[in-house]
Amino acid sequence: MASDRDIERHFRFCPSCGQREPMISAGRELNCPHCGFRFFINTAAAAGAFVLRDRQLVLCVRGKDPGRGKLDVPGGFIEFNESLEEGLRREILEELGIEVGELSYLASAPNDYLFAGVPYKTSDVFFRTTASPDVVLVPQDDVSAYQLFDPLRVNPSDFAFESTRQGYLRLVMSLVEEGWT
């Protein structure tokens, strides 16, 4: 969890009235004693997909920090007024230029996402889906490349985030349950 000290570094003034040093409590709540403004620093929602294409797993290579050069699944932050599924489909299209099949829930896990020196707490939700074997994958947005893997033989330590490692282990369990070898 973000500490009071982490939040104090980024919120030195009340966003409502501009007074100095609003009170921070429980590492996630900002209270201004001057104007009564209250703001909760909540978890951000993010979604990712383990995309299977012709019995291969499509993984992205991150083009930006955090985790530049490490493996990741296509996905990202959910925008206002999007469902997890809508946001994930948008992210897959933005990052790989493809549309995918049905999304099946796999797992969720908390994540720490350090961006531009600011610690964000996320709840990462993972789905499994398929892509047609004849679609052309085009890495774009914050994806520098994609790689195809045997879905049962990815080194979990190659993933950029612990949450993705947890989602990957759930994918492997589901594939083994289905008889993949």
Find, among 71, 78, 87, 77, the residue nearest to 139 by Cα: 71
Classify domain 44-177 at the CATH topology level: Nucleoside Triphosphate Pyrophosphohydrolase (3.90.79)
Tell whether the model's pLDDT for residue 1 goes beyond 60: no
User: In the prediction, which pLDDT does 3 show?
Assistant: 53
179 vs 7, higher pLDDT? 179
Distance CA 89, CA 159 (A): 21
- 64 contacts 142 by C-beta, under 8 angstroms: yes
Q: Which residue has the tokens 């003034």?
A: 13
User: In the prediction, which pLDDT does 99 show?
Assistant: 97
Tell whether the model's pLDDT for residue 9 goes beyond 80: no
User: In the prediction, which pLDDT does 181 show?
Assistant: 85
Residues 129-138 pLDDT 10s: 999 999 999 9
Residue 177: exposed, middle, or buried by beta-carbon count in 10 A (0-12, 13-18, 19+)? exposed
CB atoms within 10 A of CB 88: 26
pTM metric for this prediction = 0.89
Domain ranges of the chain: 4-40, 44-177
Distance CA 179, CA 181 (A): 6
Query: What are the tokens at 66?
Result: 């955090």
Q: Which residue has the tokens 């990741």?
A: 72
Q: Which of 34-43, 95-104, 133-142, 153-162 has the lowest mean pLDDT?
A: 34-43
Query: What are the tokens at 72?
Result: 């990741």
